[in-house]
């Protein structure tokens, strides 16, 4: 089955790991579809996606349509027999979904029908879930509503972050594809319809979702921050300045009122929350690089003791 003509659609590191594994296992990847190069960093350097870099390294043709709903003729001209999507980032049109004889399958980072949408991994952590998983599914025109082929569970560790869970789930997605892809191609898998009454949603994150309110229960704050690390990142405002949090720990002890800066504690920069505290080990003040809590405190951090972070996000 490895000679089946496969087009792979994906964009971030999560997908790049899966693509690399499929190529190494000898699957016939005839083309890759990914998002357009984006400007990154302070210098706004035009940067290709992680998936595009893998494709170019293995001399696989790359397509970067701005709007795939209208720009797909060149993709179908490759005559794919199977399309695999993995965190691609655009809605696939019916013309593509209906083309491959083996169908279009998606690797989704949740246990469907739970957490349909573009940010299931982040929302699972933010909501304090104890487990998540990967679902292999046939795609249809609706968002993550296609029939399920296989699913596998994965525990969420208390110290998992967006970054670490992405890596674990990416490895699981690859493992599942390598285990089941031949059977899917051969039509030996009987798909299962989703129970739509049990669906929950994990829509793409907004700037408001990245804002941390330290007036919430401390474990909620901890989950919220780690669910956003390192990309896109979590932040809060104090006296008109933005502070991003890069490494935090929860503390089941209330040393000061919620949202109030306590100062140094156990090697970190402590901020109060409801019922407990958050110890920040790495912080990034606005316009500065990421720094250790002690270095931050010995600089501007000392002057923030007793002050309160803003409660609400202001656009």
Q: Is residue 179 pLDDT above 80, yes or no?
A: yes
pTM: 0.94
Spell out the residues 6+ positions from residue 292 whose beta carbon is closer than 8 angstroms to its own: 281, 282
The predicted model gives 173-193 an average pLDDT of: 96
Q: With 0-12 CB in 10 A as exposed, 13-18 as middle and 19+ as buried, what is 40?
A: exposed
With tokens 């080990």, the residue in question is 281
pLDDT (tens digit per residue) in 127-147: 999 999 999 999 998 889 999
Which tens digit of pLDDT belongs to each residue from 262-306? 999 999 999 999 999 999 999 999 989 999 999 999 998 999 999
Round to the nearest angstrom and report the end-to-end CA distance of the chain.
Answer: 52
pLDDT over threshold 80, residue 50: yes
State the SS3 of 15-78: HHHHHHHHHHCCCCEEEEECCCCEEECCCCEEECCHHHHHHHHCCCCEECCCCCCCCCHHHHCC
Neighbours of 245 (CB within 10 A): 25
Q: Which residues pair with 280 in a beta bridge?
A: 248, 269
The answer to whether residues 126 and 213 touch, using CB atoms and an 8 Å cutoff, is: no
Query: What's the mean per-residue pLDDT of the chain?
Result: 95
Alpha-carbon torsion, ordered 88, 91, 93, 94, to 10 deg: 100
**Confidence bin at 112 (pLDDT 50/70/90):** very high
Task: Count CB atoms within 10 A of the CB of residue 254.
Answer: 15
């Amino acid at each position: 089955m490895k000679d089946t003509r496969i087009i792979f659609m994906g964009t971030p590191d999560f997908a790049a790991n899966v693509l690399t594994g499929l190529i190494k296992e000898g699957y016939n990847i005839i083309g890759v579809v990914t998002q357009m190069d984006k400007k990154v960093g302070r210098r706004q350097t035009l940067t290709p996606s992680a998936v595009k870099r893998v494709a170019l390294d293995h001399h696989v043709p790359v397509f970067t349509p701005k709007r795939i709903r209208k720009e797909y003729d060149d993709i179908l001209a490759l005559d794919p027999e199977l399309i695999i999507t993995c965190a691609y980032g655009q809605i696939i049109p019916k013309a593509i979904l209906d083309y491959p004889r083996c169908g279009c399958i998606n690797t989704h980072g949740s246990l469907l029908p739970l957490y349909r949408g573009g940010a299931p991994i982040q929302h699972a952590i933010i909501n304090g879930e104890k487990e998540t998983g990967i679902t292999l599914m046939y795609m249809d025109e609706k968002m993550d509503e296609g029939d399920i082929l296989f699913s596998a569970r994965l525990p969420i560790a208390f110290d998992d972050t967006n970054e670490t869970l992405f890596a674990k789930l990416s490895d699981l997605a690859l493992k599942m594809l390598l285990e089941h892809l031949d059977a899917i191609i051969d039509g030996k898998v009987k798909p299962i319809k989703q129970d739509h009454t049990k669906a929950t949603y994990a829509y793409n994150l907004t700037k408001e979702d990245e804002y941390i309110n330290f007036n919430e229960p401390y474990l909620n704050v901890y989950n919220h921050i780690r669910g956003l690390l390192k990309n896109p990142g979590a932040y809060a405002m104090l006296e008109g300045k933005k502070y991003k949090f890069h490494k935090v720990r929860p503390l089941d002890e209330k040393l000061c009122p919620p949202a109030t800066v306590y100062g140094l504690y156990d090697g970190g920069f402590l901020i109060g929350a409801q019922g407990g505290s958050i110890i920040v080990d790495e912080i990034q003040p606005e316009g500065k690089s990421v720094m250790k809590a002690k270095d931050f405190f010995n600089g501007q951090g000392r002057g923030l003791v007793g002050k309160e972070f803003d409660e609400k996000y202001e656009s």
